[in-house]
Amino acid sequence: MAKEKGRKMIAQNKKARHDYLIIDTYEAGLVLTGTEVKSLRQGRASLADGFVQMDGNEAWLHNVHVPEYSQGTWTNHSARRKRKLLLHRLEIEKLESKSQETGHTIVPLALYFKDGRAKVEIALAKGKKEYDKRQTLREKQDRRETERAVSAVRRKQGA
């Protein structure tokens, strides 16, 4: 069988980008069991309630839902078990020190296969206030309206 190349997206956490101000992103490997990998290859996972917790010198991914593999037997995994993240020691130390600051947290943004290996993109983030969320939505809407106006003017000039 040919080795996979490129990046195959499994799941994204779009709500995290809305609820948090992303400060820094990291790519981490995952320690998985066989049935978890097979379930992920079917494209089934949810990062909605996920978060990363630092425990000693290790990073753990909590509350990420990877459903049980449909053809699995008694060796099947539990859907919401905590999973160890594979990061460099310096990255772990940096994340641990930053996450202890007030208002900072570590959230998963995306789960994907990169060259056949399961990876998770995690981010050091700071929670947004309600008015920050409204401001972000307003800016996005304004940007969309200006793009529409510019494209309408270009269409008129081209016709």
Residue 1 in any domain: the answer is: no
Query: 137 and 114: one domain?
Result: no
Per-residue model confidence as pLDDT tens digits over 126-140: 888 887 788 888 988
Residues 31 and 13 in one domain: yes
**Band of pLDDT at residue 5, cut at 50, 70 and 90:** confident
- Pairwise CA distance, residues 93 & 58, whole Å: 9
Same domain for 95 and 42: yes
pLDDT digits (tens, 9 = 90+) for 85-124: 999 999 999 999 888 887 789 999 999 999 888 999 999 9
pLDDT in tens, 45-80: 888 888 999 888 899 999 888 887 766 666 666 667
Query: Is the Cβ–Cβ distance between 16 and 108 less than 8 Å?
Result: yes
Report if residue 98 sits inside a domain.
yes
Alpha helices in the chain (DSSP H): 14-19, 34-41, 89-99, 130-158
Could you tell me if 85 and 133 lie in one domain? no
> Is residue 42 assigned to a domain?
yes
Residue 134, domain member (yes or no): yes
Question: Quick check: is 136 in a domain?
Answer: yes
Q: What percentage of the chain exceeds 70 in pLDDT? A: 91
Tell me the two tokens of residue 1: 């069988």
Query: How many domains does one find in the chain?
Result: 2
In order, the DSSP letters of 55-66 are ETTEEEEES-B-
Whether 2 shows a pLDDT value over 60: the answer reads: no
| Same domain? 122 vs 140 | no
Domain of 67?
Answer: 7-128
